Structure 1
Amino acid sequence: MINVLSSVWALLLGVVLIMLGNGMHSTLIGLRGGLEGFSAAELAIVASGYFAGFLSGARVTPRMIKRVGHVRVFAALGSFMSAALIALPLLTEPWAWTILRVLVGFCMSGIYVTAESWLNDASTNETRGKVLSAYMIAQTLGIIGAQGLLTLGDASTSALFIGASILVSISFAPILLSVSTVPVTEAARPMPLLQLFKDAPLSTVGIFLLGCVYATQSGMGAVFGSLIGLSANEIAMFVAIMFGGALIFQYPIGWLSDRIDRRKVICSAALIGAVACGLGWMASESNQYWMLMGAAFFAGGVTAPLYALFLAYANDFLSLEDMPAASGGLVMTFGIGAILGPLLAGWAMEQSGAPTFWLVMGVTFVGIAVYAAYRMTRRAAIPADETESYLGVLPTASPATVETAGVWVAEQAEAEAEAAAEEEAAQQAEAESAETKNPS
């Protein structure tokens, strides 16, 4: 692992710095929006703007790279994003923030596509799985670390926004100084949603609902904290614990999903999320701080693993040729859910109060669990030794990385199957040879 990291450490450092800046600004939106008197509905539109920009950037960036090259696209998007982050405290109006968030989402998506292209190019078939895992860990640590940086300043000033902009700006240095090749970036055309639903109904419906949950957590978590009167430090802790839970739960859920029916794991994880949301509802009503943090840990902890579970479960039923298009379709479906989730949560919080933040997520988790249980009655389970391996891809990854991860896992499974078949054939030949030499 050390040898693998030594070849991509600069790229990973750049990713951590990007996530520090992006993670800071995402929470700052809720903190500063509350200080400016923005309503929950207004902040929900602002939060959805990021995911609308992210979804469009994922489709447009590969064409931009093809036209002008990786370095120019990377530099241009980085410049626009830094400018947008600085502009946020200068234009404290909901409509302006929505536009800026769309721009930030578009730029972040493009930055991911470009950085991940270089990261993928820097790895080999033997190291790609470890590199992808290290990349996902770097992303999560960056988001968690960003919440700690928020405690160093005051959201009512421009200092934290400027700090986020600086982090994003300097993140380009280790990435641009460490890359020398120009990788090929080609995103597959997403599979039509009807075809995707026909081939992988649970993954299609589940990942749409999960998009609602994830965007509500990341886009409205700070808004919820602000509305119930948490301090800035407590809100930062609340968001950090949600992502910390995802980091801790990723491995055990993935390990379990490779050994039993994935639908049971999906159903169980969603039920854990629903119960956690119920506890979060009670904690926010009764002002129980540590119960609230526990609810955030478990609700956030199952969300990212569920994303990887849906991708892995879809791959179990797809051919190697269909995986890239299906991955693109699932990412798009997730993005649509991510746009709608904060809007629904913001409207509910506006109508019935801040605790409905948990109600929206809880009902969505229940929907995932119920549909997973229903699908268990409609299709027989695949034997565990015939399923594709789980790889902890995060919702923040670009479609290019999701496609790469799915294809890599499938290719590894095929290679292992071929190696096992060759070993069995060799053992059989050896046994036949021994029998010929020593006839009974």
Structure 2
Amino acid sequence: MLTVLRTTWPLLLGVMLFMVGNGMQGTLLGIRGGLEGFSTYQMSMVMSGYFLGFLFGSQMTPIMIRRVGHVRVFAALGSMISAVLILYAAMPHWLVWAALRVVIGFSFSGVYITAESWLNASSTNETRGQALSAYMIVQMIGIIAAQLLMNTADPEGYLLFVIPSVLVSVAFTPILLSVAPAPPFAQVKRLSLRKLFEVSPLGVVGMFLMGGTFSALFGMASVWGMRAGLSVPEISVFVGAIYVGGLVAQYPIGWASDRMDRRKIICVISAVGTVAMLLAVIFSPGFAVLSVLAAVAGGVANPLYSLLIAYTNDYLDQNDMAAASGGLLFINGVGAMMGPPITGWLMVRIGSGGYFLFLVIMFGGIAGYALYRMLRHPNRIGQYPGAYAVISPAASALAVDKALKAAEGANEDDARA
């Protein structure tokens, strides 16, 4: 790991600063939107814009990289992110914010794809798994640190918009001044949706529902917090708890998934998420309990994402994994666009509890469909399932493919040992 950090620290530092900026803007907009008097549904449309842009960026960035190269794409999109973060404060109108969220989602998608290409090129076969693990860890550290920075200034002012803009601008420095050359870019093709569904119905349905889950859970958390009357420190703790729960739960669930039927784990942890969110709907608990339930939701959602990708790849040849990952991430992105609007509509109709009700429906849908698939095909799972890899929802198909292959290699090494 020390070798990995020594060779990739400029990239990892830059990515962490980008994630601080991204984590701050997501939480800050929900808070500032409430202060500006934007309605819940208007803010849901603002939050949905990010996922529309992210999906569009995942399709366009490979074309841009092939035309003008990694460095220009990285610098241009990073500059766009920095500018948008300032424009939020200068142009406080929900329609403008929605448009800016599309732009910043597009830009962050491109930045992630470019950074992951660099990381992959700078790693050897022996260090790629460690490098990708470090990449996922610094992403989570950046987002959690962003919630702490939310308490450094008044959200009604400009400073909280300036801080992430400056951090994003500074993030260029270690990456663009590093000696690592720009890597060649290999585009990842997708399997057709019909082929993906034939290979793994649970993978396709689960990833679509997970898209809605992630976009609602993370994108609407601060909007819910403002509607529920939480203070800024309480909102930052609530959002931070989601990410901490996801970070802590990934590894034990991943360990278990390599040793038993993944459908059972998907069903069980989805049911846990369903029950936890149902408790929030029925009992309207206090803030301390809500924070614990938020950690449970994050601890279910993040591993579920990795589990569904690993489960789908259990039934594919290794040469098809990258194409399948690209298709699954596209399906996830389509699902993500519907999460905030539906959550916003539920919050308007039934109050702040609509936030948790939507998560009940999403987690419950995954649990129910996984149970249905087990009952219909009780012996579908192979005796030796493929490897589980810790994967971030922000990861591109390239990173997913490399993470899975690195995990497969580690499993083979363990088996030989």
TM-score in same-fold range (> 0.5): yes
| TM-score normalised by the chain length of structure 2 | 0.97
Give the equivalent residue in structure 2 for 1:323: 321
Q: Is 1:57 aligned to residue 86 of structure 2?
A: no
- Rg larger for: 1
> Deviation at 1:39?
1.0
Matches within 5 A, 1:242-391: 242-282=242-282, 285-286=284-285, 288-379=286-377, 380-384=379-383, 386-391=384-389
> Deviation at 1:405?
2.0
| TM-score normalised by the chain length of structure 1 | 0.92
- Give the letter aligned to residue 149 of structure 2: L
Rounded Cα–Cα distance in structure 2 between residues aligned with 1:56 and 1:186: 18
RMSD: 1.5
Rounded Cα–Cα distance in structure 1 between residues aligned with 2:399 and 2:64: 17
Rounded Cα–Cα distance in structure 2 between residues aligned with 1:109 and 1:3: 28
Give the equivalent residue in structure 2 for 1:403: 401
Give the equivalent residue in structure 2 for 1:104: 104
> Deviation at 1:118?
0.7
Rounded Cα–Cα distance in structure 1 between residues aligned with 2:28 and 2:397: 27
Q: Deviations over 1:189-248 (max 9, x none)?
A: 222111111111111100110111110011100000000100001000000000000000
> Deviation at 1:394?
0.9
Give the equivalent residue in structure 1 for 2:198: 198
Give the equivalent residue in structure 2 for 1:129: 129
Give the direction of change, closer, same or farther, for the CA distance of 1:179–1:336 in structure 2 (3 Å limit): farther
Between 180-189 and 315-324, the greater mean CA deviation after superposition:
180-189
Q: Deviations over 1:323-348 (max 9, x none)?
A: 11110000000001110111110111
> Deviation at 1:4?
2.0
Mind listing any 5+ residue stretches in structure 1 that lack a counterpart? 424-440
Rounded Cα–Cα distance in structure 1 between residues aligned with 2:185 and 2:276: 40
Contact 2:387/2:404 (8 A) holds in 1: no
- Give the letter aligned to residue 118 of structure 1: W
Between 400-409 and 290-299, the greater mean CA deviation after superposition:
400-409
Give the equivalent residue in structure 2 for 1:31: 31
Aligned-partner SS, 2:90: coil
Q: Is 1:113 aligned to residue 139 of structure 2?
A: no
> Deviation at 1:281?
2.1
Rounded Cα–Cα distance in structure 1 between residues aligned with 2:390 and 2:352: 32
Q: Deviations over 1:390-424 (max 9, x none)?
A: 110011112221122234444555x659x85xx9x
Rounded Cα–Cα distance in structure 2 between residues aligned with 1:392 and 1:411: 14
Rounded Cα–Cα distance in structure 1 between residues aligned with 2:238 and 2:200: 34
Aligned-partner SS, 1:369: helix
Contact 1:188/1:325 (8 A) holds in 2: yes
Q: Deviations over 1:62-115 (max 9, x none)?
A: 111111111111110011111111000111111100110000000000000111
Rounded Cα–Cα distance in structure 2 between residues aligned with 1:13 and 1:279: 39
- Give the letter aligned to residue 218 of structure 1: F
> Deviation at 1:381?
4.2
Q: Deviations over 1:272-320 (max 9, x none)?
A: 111111222245x35x111111110101111111000001001100011
Contact 1:279/1:292 (8 A) holds in 2: no
- Give the letter aligned to residue 333 of structure 1: I
Rounded Cα–Cα distance in structure 2 between residues aligned with 1:133 and 1:173: 23
Rounded Cα–Cα distance in structure 2 between residues aligned with 1:198 and 1:179: 45
Give the % identical residues: 48
Rounded Cα–Cα distance in structure 1 between residues aligned with 2:145 and 2:102: 24
Give the equivalent residue in structure 1 for 2:238: 238
Mind listing any 5+ residue stretches in structure 2 that lack a counterpart? none
> Aligned residue pairs: how many?
416
Runs of 4+ with >4 A deviation: 410-413
